[in-house]
Structure 1
Amino acid sequence: MTPTRWTTPVGVAVVTAVLGFALVGPLEMMGLRLTQLPWTAVAAVLLLAVVVLVLGWPVRRWTRGHRDRPLDPLRAARTAALGQASALAGAALVGWYVGQVLHLLPDVAFPLPRASVVNLGVAAGASALLLVAGLVVERWCRLPPEDDDEPGPGGGRAARPTA
């Protein structure tokens, strides 16, 4: 699995922001009111960010040398995948909420759109925290560079290149 580059979440956020901006108007004309966001949506995203960090913590401890317990490699790989998925989901949510905020900005002088802009801004902030938590956990799951003095696969020393 390759590490997530910063351009990938930025690209996802920009694409979903454009989609959010373009789709909110037509969907509201069809009777859907997307800009009313319940507080539970924000709480769920924040809870997910905390869960991702909690699941990544044992992997971080193990990679930092606290190896009092063995770490299942499959669990570490799944945690890295969860980190990457959380980063991309957080980026998509940031873009979606920012697109809706951009759609509502011309009407921000009125009370209802202003309240929606504040709610969507808070949701975008929570989604940004999920994005950061995912990237942090993914970084925690990186293995340190292998040392040449470690035993090789057959139990002997690793072969050193000769110059």
Structure 2
Amino acid sequence: MSTIRPLLLALIAVVTAVLGWGASLLTAANSLPSPVLHATSLITIGAGTLITLVLGLRVRAYQRQRSEFRDRERRRQAGEQGHARGAEKPVEISPVLAARTLVLAQALAYAGAVILGWHAGVLVDLLGVARVGSDSVTLSLIMIGAAGLMSVVGWAVEQFCKVPPGDGPQPGPDGARGESNGDEQGYAPGAGG
């Protein structure tokens, strides 16, 4: 599974901005309302972003607990004294949950880029004909902010699902390891494939 590329997110935003601008021109020419999402869509955007963030924080907490446990075990095996207490063995998370969290994070980032671009294009057209305090302009600005937050949270949660170099799963009996993205970082168990 490939990682989110910020340049690709920017390209998606630019392409959808052009589409949003064109759609806004068409609706204005046909005396239709601006193609802006309704304010109630903020509930869906907020819920999706919050759920993704909570699931991502869960994966991140697991990664941190696992790292602390491994460090303690290495010190204990090396015979260091004073490290008998410390991190407990982390409660395993479902590989399916980790994979779904990763996919959800990537979908959130891409959806945020699309919504951001669309409303930026609509805003460009609206600023030429509407005053700054109008409902459509205000709603476009709010959607741009919410969509930007979606993309940032999606990207951040994807980063939570990555396994630091050297902390990945140990080779199994068949020699297989966790998936890597080419820079020696893989994903949390089950999140890469």
> Are 2:175 and 1:153 equivalent residues in the alignment?
no
Whether contact under 8 Å (2:34, 2:136) holds in the other structure is no
Equivalent residues in 2 for 1:89-108, closer than 5 Å: 89-108=111-130
RMSD: 2.5
Q: 2:27·2:35 contact (CA, 8 Å) conserved in 1? A: no
Q: Does structure 1 residue 18 correspond to structure 2 residue 18?
A: yes
2:100 is the counterpart of 1:78: yes
How far off is 1:35 after superposition? 4.3
Alignment counterpart, residue 135 of structure 1, candidates 113, 135, 155: 155
Amino acid at match of 1:100: V
Normalising by the residue count of structure 2, what TM-score does the alignment of the two structures yield? 0.71
- Greater Cα offset, 41-50 or 135-144: 41-50
Tell me the equivalent position of 1:61: 61
Per the alignment, do residues 108 and 8 of structure 1 end up closer, same or farther by CA in structure 2, a change over 3 Å counting? Answer: same
Cα deviation, residue 29, structure 1: 3.2
| Structure 2 counterpart SS, 1:4 | coil
What TM-score do the two structures reach when normalised by structure 1? 0.83
Cα distance per residue 1:56-107 (max 9 Å; x no partner):
1111111122553111112111111110110000000000111110011112
Amino acid aligned to 2:117: G
Q: Which residue of 1 aligns with 2:137?
A: 117
Identity, % of aligned positions: 33
How far apart in 1 are the matches of 2:41 and 2:171? 49
* Cα distance in 2 between the residues matched to 1:36 and 1:14: 17
Residue 7 of structure 1 corresponds to 7
**Unmatched 5+ residue regions in structure 2?**
67-88, 176-193
Instruction: Decide whether the 8 Å contact of 1:101 with 1:117 is kept in 2.
Output: yes
Paired residues in the alignment total: 154
Q: State whether residues 35 and 120 of structure 1, in contact with CA within 8 Å, keep that contact through their aligned partners in structure 2.
A: no
Q: Which runs of no fewer than 5 residues in structure 1 stay unpaired? A: 157-163
Deviations 1:82-133 (A, max 9, x none): 101100000000001111100111123386xx33111110111011111111
Task: Pick closer, same or farther for the CA change 1:92–1:147 going to 2, 3 Å.
Answer: closer
- Name the SS of the counterpart of 2:4 in structure 1: coil
